Chain A
Amino acid sequence: MVFYFTALITVGTASYAVFSKNITRCAFSLLYSFFGMAVLYGLLSADFVAVVQLMIYVGGILVLLLFAVMLTGNIELAANSNKTASRWLGYPLGMVIFVLLVSVFLRVPWGKSAVQAYLPTIRAIGESFLGRLLLPFEFLSIVLLAVVIGAVVIVRNRNVCNASEEEEST
């Protein structure tokens, strides 16, 4: 029962986020979607993932998204907010992804497993990160490092431009 309730909330708010015209409301409805997802993780006894989902998606990504939405001028105008590449590119792409997901869904042998007691999953996650999955983990770290450096470079460049403009004007 809890599962269906959360699933309903998650899917409902996610579809609201997709279909609503008011982009700020879209962003806020994502909150409930993320929250419902965290609850679903919790129901699957993945407590660590659930908490991290809350922490990173709600605390970090959603807030950044809201900042971007709120600090952009005239975001309420459809011309500014809903600029898409092409409607005729979008529909087939969506269909392809949908078919892909359905085929995966049909192929996986869904076995009913007994509900496990809550076991600490953190140790297992940590060990696999530093053991079996070390290479992808390090790769991800490098990508993130590159992103951080890139962000710093972009901000620095803009500052330099502003400074030179100010010098010219004075």
Chain B
Amino acid sequence: MTSEALIDYVKGLLGDKTKWADPEAGDNFLTVASEDWKNICQTLATDKKCSLTYLRNFTGTDYPEDDEIELTAHTFSYSEKHGLIIKTRISREAAVCDTLSKIWPAAIWYEREIFDLLGVSFNNHPDLRRILMPEDWVGHPLRKDYKQQETYRGIPTTRPA
């Protein structure tokens, strides 16, 4: 399916639940509300014509000026040879979202990474632990207002002059 055809098809499938980006912006992506996040991903992954069965990338971005964290899922369909970017925004304080690991098992590690670096906790995630930073690390480094701790287990985090 070409990307225009895919956009039209998804628009028809999901109706007014989606908000589409300005086509001038480059990539075509749709933004959904965080309550519909899991259901829409489920629909897009299982729908016969979309069949976006492959999660290429799943990441998050911090927007302190909007007080929101944006989650971005890059999906791809090997059978139909098309891809789609799905986004959602959640609040920074209560950073909670539904897990995608039931739909795409690859999301388990991606979600652990987002949890580790941005502090988003995912409901019903099978194994939500830190993946990159040590287990007893304080804070989530990719938040824009992150302040590094002074010492980690006795190692100073800044080089003494």
A–B touching in complex (CB under 8 Å)? no
A interface vs B, CB < 8 Å?
none
